Amino acid sequence: MEGLTFRIATEQDLDQIVAMLADDVLGSKRERYEKPLPNSYIEAFVAISADPNNELVVACIDDKVVGVQQITFTPYITHQGAWRATIEGVRTASSVRGKGVGTALISWAIQRAKSRGCHLIQLTTDKQRPDTLRFYERLGFQATHEGLKKKL
């Protein structure tokens, strides 16, 4: 997509980020986009920013944030102590969906993981998002494991 750039998110981006997270069927049920933003978002941003193994990355066109993803880099004892990257919280602004921003975000994350020496990149998607699952499969991701979660 023409003019698309990537950078580490700043606290000033939080409003646009939370708006994107809340702007879909599932996100509207679990996010709280209100002004001022709930303090929990600011606290999470501060923790992510302080952690050298976490990056909150935004995709921008001019000064407008049109995509977001969090990448976490984790060392593992398995695979001979290799590192892996996990992509979470991928969203694109509704105004640019279907225009290549999501593909560009994931491609950027893959290159970033390679530059950090990761041997594997992984992600999850909600089973209620079959179109998203097909999107990730088109980008070369495979459902090789069964993931489990438990709310606390």
pLDDT digits (tens, 9 = 90+) for 85-130: 999 999 999 999 989 999 999 999 999 999 999 999 999 998 888 8
Q: What is the dihedral of CA 19, 25, 30, 31, to 10 degrees?
A: 10
d(CA 138, CA 91): 17
Look at residue 128 in the predicted model and tell me its pLDDT. 87
What is d(CA 137, CA 143) in angstroms, rounded to the nearest whole number?
8
Task: Please state the pTM of the whole predicted model.
Answer: 0.92
Give the pLDDT of residue 146: 86
Other CB atoms within 10 A of residue 90 CB: 22
pLDDT > 80? residue 51: yes
Which fold, 7-138?
Aminopeptidase (3.40.630)
pLDDT band at 1 (very low <50, low <70, confident <90, very high): low
| Mean of per-residue pLDDT scores for the chain | 94
User: pLDDT digits over 87-99, tens only?
Assistant: 999 999 999 998 9
